[in-house]
Amino acid sequence: MCRGTVALLGNLNIDRTVFDAMAAEFDWAVSQTHSLSELREMSVAQNVAAVLFDARNLGVSWNDALESVLAAAPRALPIVCTGFSEPVRWPELADAGAFHELRLPINKSEARRSLGFIWAAKRWDRIEHDTAAASQNAPGANWRKTPTKIDYELSRPVIKRAPRLYVK
């Protein structure tokens, strides 16, 4: 029994037999979608755990692609797939809601690590959701939190020296 689905949006040139087997280790199915409307329909009908996508295949900017994926599958974790030589501003994508990045062509160990990150995030969602449901206050677990700005001047650790002991 599958706990969810990993959606592949567009043509990512992934070896499906290998990727499907890795996803099955986490009790997930893998489904291919060719458009954002198909992804939207899949998100309504299934528990989409993550969406792997490449903005180049969608013909839009990274931010537009990420925004579209988040709108089509709001509970899914967006995984940005980029070329190895492609410059991507990861901090901006992360602030916009991207969960993780995979470089294409996808390395088997990197894909497994990414699936593990997804599994851990979704597991934490289930724990928080179950705890909230038990307290009659289920907000609908979602890994995305409101971004916080860190004031690095105030966040620097203060180093306190231990008092010197003088021995006579």
Question: What pLDDT was estimated at residue 166?
Answer: 54
DSSP characters for 53-117? E-HHHHTS-HHHHHHHHHHH-TTSEEEEEEETT----HHHHHHHT--EEEEESPPHHHHHHHHHH
Query: Exposed/middle/buried for 147, CB within 10 Å: 0-12, 13-18, 19+?
Result: exposed
Domains of the chain in start order, with CATH, are: 4-155 (3.40.50.2300)
pLDDT above 80 for 1: no
Confidence of residue 130 (pLDDT cuts 50, 70, 90): low
Query: Is pLDDT larger for residue 81 or for residue 126?
Result: 81
**Global confidence as pTM:** 0.75
